[in-house]
Each structure stands twice: as C-alpha cells, then as structure tokens.
Structure 1
Amino acid sequence: MVLVRAVLAMALTALRAQAAELQLPSFGTLLRCEDARCLWADRDGAAVSAEAMVTQFLQDEGLHEGSSEFRQRMEAHVDYLEQVHTHADREGMAFSYAMGVNSRHLYHDGNRKLSPLAFVQQEHRASQRQRERKLAKATTATRHLSNTTLETRTTLDWCSTDNSHNQSICTGVKSQNQCGSCWAFAAADSIETAVVVNDGTVPQSLSPQQFLECSSRQMTATFDYCWAEGGVDGSAWLLTTMLWGSENSGCDGGMTHAAFADAAQQHWSLMSQLDLPYNEEETSQASSAALANACSNSSTDEAAASISGWEQAVGTSCENSSDSSELLKLALQQQPISVAINSGGSFDEYKGGVYTCPNDGDFDTSGDIDHALVLVGYGSNGTTDYWILKNSYGASWGEKGFLRLAVDDKINCGLSVFPVIPTGALAGAARTTVDGGGDVVFVGLSPNGWDHDGQEMVVSEVVMGSPSEVFDAWLRDVWIAGGNRVREGVGRGYTGYVRRVPLGVEEEILSAGLPQESDAAVGSESEGPDAQLKIPSICYRVRKFGPFPLKSHLALVRFVDAATISESSPESHGSTVTPRTLVVWTVKTEASDLCDRLHCG
C-alpha cells in the first residue's frame, strides 16, 4: 500500500509539472483563425466561437440581460483582433506574444489610432528593424557594468522565490477597473514591497483608495538622465535633464512620485486595502472617521505603513554604467521600482509571451508614456531578454496580471524615464523622529555675525506657531517639499541635506541651530542678556547654479519668537499669548563675471 501511494504521488507530481509547462490559454485569448472563422479560449481554456466567449464575459460581469452596448463594445475589439490576425498571416508575420480580450473591453470603446492593417504593417517593419539590430549587436561588444565589483543576478523576480529573500515580497494583483488610477496602484504596490525589504515583514496589501482620495499634489520635479548623453535613439525629445510638471487628479491620472511626496511630506499613516477598500471612486464609502485619518497625519491602530520620501532610482549617476537597462537591473537588486510605460498598440490585449513595444519603441513625445506599473524583475527565454512587470488590470490580464516586456536599447517602452522608489518605508504608523544633528550649532548666532560678500535681500513674515513648530514645518513643507532629494541630511535640522530644484539648481543645508527644549524658555530672564540672540536658524547654499550666472548664493533663515516680542502689547491683556513666529529669510548673492557682462539683475 505504501508503495502504491508513493507511485501515485510521483505520477501526480509529474502530471502537475506537465500541466505547468502546458498551461491552458487564459480566458479571452485569440487561439487561431481558419477559413474566416476564429476560435477563442473560454473560461476553461477550450476553443469556442467569438460569440460564445463574449457571452461568457457578459455573464461573468452580470451584463448578459442588460443593454447591448457592452456586447457591441466587446465585439468591436474582437473584430479588430481577428483582422489583425488575418493581416499578420498574409504578411507572414508572427507576434511574439498572445493577444485577446478581457472584461475591460466591455467598457472601453474600440476606437484605435491605427487600422488593423496599418498596425500589422507598423509592427512588421518594427520586427525587421529589431532583427537587423540583433545581427549588428552580435558583432559588437555588449555594454556591461563598468564597476566589475558590483554583482547582478542572472535572473530576478521579486514576486517569486527568484530573489535575495528567497520568497515573494509581493501582494496579489489588484484591479483599477475603469478608473485612470494606475498611479495610485503603482504607489501602493511599490511601498508594499519596500516595507518588506526594509522591515522583513509579511507582505500586506495597501490601499490605493487612500492615494485616490487624498493625493491631489501639483508639483514639478527635475529628473536626470545621465545615460542620455549624446541623444537617445527613438526619443529625440529626451535630454539629460528634464523638468516634469504633474498633477494628481483622481481617475483622470497622476504621477506616482507625487503620491510618494504627499505620503512622505504630510506624514500619512498608510492604510491597508482591508481597512480602506478600493471602490473606483474619488469619494469612498468608508466612514468619515477613516477618511479623516487617511488624509491627515493622524496615527491609527489600523496604520499599515509609512514612508519618509522618494527618489529617482536610475539616471542621476552613470558611474557604474551608461546603459539605462544595466542601471535598471542594478537598482532592481535592492527593491522593485515604480515605472511608466506606453499603453498603446496591443497593450490592453496582451495575454502572454514576451511583449514588444509598439513601433519598435520609438516615441514622438513624452506624452506617449501614459501608464504606471511596477518593475519587479527580469529574465530571458534563451533568445530574448525581458523585464517582468506587475500591472493593475487584474489577474485575468496578461500572465496572471504580469507582463514580460522585451528589453531594448532605447527607453524600454518608457521604463527608463520615470523610475522612482519610496524611501524610508516602514511597517506601522508614520512617526516623527526628533534628534540633534549638525556639526555647526547656530543657536546664539547674532545676525551681525553673518559675514558674506554679495548683494543682500531680506524677506520676513509672521506665521502662527512657536519657533520650534515653524522650524520643523519650514523644513518639511518648504525645504523637502520644494525639491527632489539628492542626499539625505542629519538630525532634526537635516544638516547636509541636498535637494534639486527646477532648472538643475542644487541647494545644500550647511548647518542648523536647533530650537530650545522649550520655546517658553527663549527670551526668559533665566537665559541672561544674550537670550534674545539664541534663535533657531538654518543656513544653506546653492552649490549648483544651473543656467543662472552666479558666483555664490548663501541664505540664512531665522525663526524669531514673535509672541515674546508682543508680550506687553494691548492685545495680550496679561494673558497667554498665541504662539507666533517671525520668519526672517536673508539671502546674499554674488553675480559671476558672466552675469556682469550680460547685465543681469
């Protein structure tokens, strides 16, 4: 009996292995066309007519008894793909990936930029160019990492066991449904994996709804593309430095790095998908208390994660390679990366295999890069190297929700343009760390002691809050929110922090005089005659001037206790004064010789 069981177990294992290798086509895959009749995969992978397959989709969505508009939409997509298949056969062309339909096609009109024939001709020409490049590449040296001490895995997949953790760090594939919220899903998926990498916790699905509800940031961000020196094949518009503007606008789209910026700078405690489910609307049906916590920096018992910032993952340095694909692989060794891709061509219809970017990866404008998703790995099928990406179209799209995209030597269908990662990702509620920091202590600095050549400008403003509160708020909302981090700072004053602002300008905090332990102590008699000079201060400089013809630019921001100054005013009536702070911003700028010649102001 034992022997029989062992034999049966071995046979079952063999059958499972064979089934894994011979995976049935997914529901909605176009299988083949013969004599003007095409066959499609039904729910069970069996070959059926288009009409039967469409009826099953309608039944699954509960639409089979309603309006015929959903059937008409799906039939338009089916007809388009059948024509593509027919024209490809006539051209003697075989696609490297399978195509088909999914439930999304019930809701999207079948309007296309290219007719079936034009699409096939475009992709046929593209495949011929790709073959020519492969032949040319075989006779030339391949670019590798210039720093040979760095190691990259031959293959990598953070959503399987093929990674340094030897286990998947990903949650299940989500679906954005019909909402243009890919940016929110990419943000949630990226943070989920970053938390596992940093904290070693079990993957927990975060709520894209929180970003959809709360992130409406308008911002500009400067991205560097060191690998684009000398131009980029197929994307002439891409320069070595680009200033990108964006606005997160719910289902009308947004950018993942802006979602990261909101979560970090507003100290959100990120909620789980379970506590704040996705409902495809910008106004959730969750409780008002849950929404209030979601869009504030309130810590809750349900908080699943938090982040402290974001950064561009690839492009700021080409020290290790000048090949964007090699740099992406190197960055992927640490964690998955949020990226963007072109979703044109047959992207929506992808059902499996190695997908090739439409039109050979050539793009007329940056606007062609229009869909956010997460890069989780790379591999090869022996003839083609590919990227592995986690999408947000549900598990019925692609390869159970994933895409294999052919690696190219251009911009990788857009992946090389917006590669960003969250930083400081941790499990649990957002937390604020207050400590010392900085080699130079500015507390006690007299304004007269600041000596620097150049033209001086002073701006001041009274704001509500104590000097300690305003000091922290200025660093968070003005300094950090106003640019992209190049280098992290130290301590509460972020000494040494370098940020990049528009036009390639870089600024660095040189030193910070931290607030006193108690704001009430500032200016008190116990502090002595010099107490009025002991004010929190931040000194920073411009270290890269971009296009501005300057020799030096130094700034000092002081946070003066305005409540102490007005203590004897009639408004106080001898009672407690509302905390106020006078922020004094002094800038000294020295023009370069070039500026003098150009008569700059």
Structure 2
Amino acid sequence: MGGRGLGRQSTTPTLPPRLLTPIEDVRNLEGSCWAFSTIAAVEGINQIVTGELISLSEQELVDCDRSYDAGCNGGLMDYAFQFIIDNGGIDTEDYPYKGVDGECNASGVNAKVVTIDGYEDVPPFDERALKKAVAHQPVSVAIEAGGREFQLYESGVFSGECGTALDHGVIAVGYGTEHGKEYWLVRNSWGTGWGENGYIKMERNVVENFFWKRGIAMEASYPIKTSPNPKKSSEGYYSSA
C-alpha cells in the first residue's frame, strides 16, 4: 500500500489543518463518535468565522444532550447541532472527555465559549452538493464502518464496501484525485495510528450501480455560524452582551 503521508501523488483540495484540533482516539468507545463528528464541524466553522481554533467539549454532548441522543450509546449529529444552538459549546478544559456517560454539569452553562446559529442538511446522495459544502467547511457525515476492510485500512483510495447501514460519525474535510481515482478525505476518531495519520480517502462519485458504496452521502450536515461568540467578563462568565 505504501506510505501513510496525506496527499501522496494526489491533488487534494483539503481544508487547512488550522481548522482542526488534534485527532482523538475513541475507537473503544464507538458510541460517542457522533459527538466527535459534531464538535469537529463546530470547531471548524468557528475558526473560519472568528479566526480562533477552540477545542470544544465532546463530553458535554455525551452528558447533557439527552433529549434525543444517548451518550455513549449513540446519537445523531443534527440533534447535537441543535443542542449547541440552544446551549452553546464549552471549552474542553472546562469539561474534559472521560469516555463514559456522566451526570450533566449544570454549571457549564456559564462556560460556553462558542455558539452556532443553525445547521444545514446536504441533500441525500447528492455528491455534487456535498463537494460544494466540503469546499467551504468541515462537514459531518455518517458512514458504515463495521467492515473488516475499512477497519484495517492503511492508505490509498478505499474502494471496498462501505455501505448504507450507517453506524459511525466522522468528518469530511476535503476531496481530491489519486492515481485517477476520485476520493473524499475523511477524518476519523480512531487515533493517528489508523489509516493515513487518522484519515481515510474514500471513493467519490460512485456510480448508482454501486449504491452500497454511497453511504457517505446519505446523512451529511454542517453547522451555520453568523453571530459572534459570547464575551468573557472579568468574573470569568460568558454572555452575548
């Protein structure tokens, strides 16, 4: 398969690394992947709009976003976006990741540092619309990640089965072409030892006859941000004033 360096012999219109915080490894805690996908998308749009890369808390979503999501037992990125619209995002230092379900820290409301104003769903199976979205910001996507080929991926454009039984939340951060094959550049949350430094190149523009390879385009969505973040007072609390 060769080396693991991103972009090797490829054209890769990817988002700048400054938009993304370091890759986490939650492979043994798969039920919280939705929180990591959501947070990566929000961190990215916040950096684009404000110029600040702020590490936000996945644990807040795991503990507190319980209207529809289920902590380490699974969740959906759209519901998590709505939670952040309603409650804001909290700095990781104020609410660190523990890897288990916990009680929601109600005092965290005073620690919110990032807000979003909405979210947008990409039309299902519309890879052109997904490409347009990814060109502007990180996009949360769901994929089927249970296959052995996917789990053992090391490098190159992955063209194995990755179907429509969606079970894993990740983040699409770019697209390109390698050796004539078009791909999506996807950031996983299984640590930098998996894939190409934590990323996978997934086959793009798959023809309709290979429907079972097009799961990545089924439930893509991204946050919208137009408003400034809350300001921190001298007492350490945040407000929109």
TM-score normalised to structure 2 length: 0.82
Question: What does 1:93-242 correspond to in 2, within 5 Å?
Answer: 155-160=12-17, 168-179=18-29, 180-201=31-52, 203-218=53-68
Alpha-carbon shift at residue 377 of structure 1 (Å): 0.4
Alpha-carbon shift at residue 370 of structure 1 (Å): 1.0
What is residue 94 of structure 2 aligned with on the other side? 275
Distance 2:190 2:203 in 1: 20
Name the aligned partner's letter for residue 282 of structure 1: D
- Give deviations 1:470-489, integer Å, cap 9, x for gaps: xxxxxxxxxxxxxxxxxxxx
Alpha-carbon shift at residue 283 of structure 1 (Å): 1.0
Q: Does 1:409 align with 2:228?
A: no
Larger radius of gyration: 1
Name the aligned partner's letter for residue 14 of structure 2: D
Change over 3 Å in CA distance of 1:214–1:425 after alignment to 2? farther
Tell whether the 8 Å contact from 1:375 to 1:387 is kept in structure 2 after alignment. Answer: yes
What is residue 341 of structure 1 aligned with on the other side? 143
The residue matched to 2:40 in structure 1 has which SS? Answer: helix
What is residue 235 of structure 2 aligned with on the other side? none
Alpha-carbon shift at residue 159 of structure 1 (Å): 4.1
The number of residues matched between the two structures is: 222
Q: Which runs of 5+ in 2 are unaligned?
A: 6-10, 231-237
Tell whether the 8 Å contact from 2:15 to 2:135 is kept in structure 1 after alignment. Answer: no
Tell whether the 8 Å contact from 2:172 to 2:184 is kept in structure 1 after alignment. Answer: yes
The residue matched to 1:350 in structure 2 has which SS? Answer: coil
Change over 3 Å in CA distance of 1:376–1:340 after alignment to 2? same
Name the aligned partner's letter for residue 110 of structure 2: S
Tell whether the 8 Å contact from 1:195 to 1:425 is kept in structure 2 after alignment. Answer: no
What is residue 250 of structure 1 aligned with on the other side? 71
What is residue 515 of structure 1 aligned with on the other side? none
Question: What does 1:483-502 correspond to in 2, within 5 Å?
Answer: none
Alpha-carbon shift at residue 393 of structure 1 (Å): 1.0
- Give deviations 1:136-180, integer Å, cap 9, x for gaps: xxxxxxxxxxxxxxxxxx7411144xxxxxxx3111111224221
What is residue 373 of structure 1 aligned with on the other side? 170
What is residue 234 of structure 2 aligned with on the other side? none
- Give deviations 1:280-307, integer Å, cap 9, x for gaps: 01116xxx8xx2133xxx333xx33111
Name the aligned partner's letter for residue 329 of structure 1: K
What is residue 449 of structure 1 aligned with on the other side? none
The residue matched to 1:403 in structure 2 has which SS? Answer: strand
Q: Does 1:293 align with 2:107?
A: yes
Distance 2:92 2:81 in 1: 17
Alpha-carbon shift at residue 275 of structure 1 (Å): 2.3
Tell whether the 8 Å contact from 1:169 to 1:193 is kept in structure 2 after alignment. Answer: yes
Name the aligned partner's letter for residue 305 of structure 1: V
Name the aligned partner's letter for residue 415 of structure 1: I
Provide the aligned C-alpha RMSD in A.
2.5
Tell whether the 8 Å contact from 2:14 to 2:135 is kept in structure 1 after alignment. Answer: no
Alpha-carbon shift at residue 389 of structure 1 (Å): 0.6
Q: Which runs of 5+ in 1 are unaligned?
A: 1-21, 26-153, 161-167, 219-247, 316-322, 434-601
Which residue among 130, 138, 150 is the counterpart of 1:328?
130
Question: What does 1:44-123 correspond to in 2, within 5 Å?
Answer: none
Distance 1:406 1:342 in 2: 13
Question: What does 1:459-470 correspond to in 2, within 5 Å?
Answer: none
Change over 3 Å in CA distance of 1:311–1:293 after alignment to 2? farther
Distance 2:226 2:88 in 1: 11
Distance 1:431 1:355 in 2: 45
Change over 3 Å in CA distance of 1:370–1:177 after alignment to 2? closer
Distance 1:256 1:400 in 2: 24
Name the aligned partner's letter for residue 220 of structure 2: P
Percent identical among aligned pairs is: 27
Name the aligned partner's letter for residue 84 of structure 2: A
TM-score normalised to structure 1 length: 0.35
Tell whether the 8 Å contact from 1:185 to 1:392 is kept in structure 2 after alignment. Answer: yes
Alpha-carbon shift at residue 217 of structure 1 (Å): 2.3
Alpha-carbon shift at residue 313 of structure 1 (Å): 3.0
Name the aligned partner's letter for residue 313 of structure 1: V
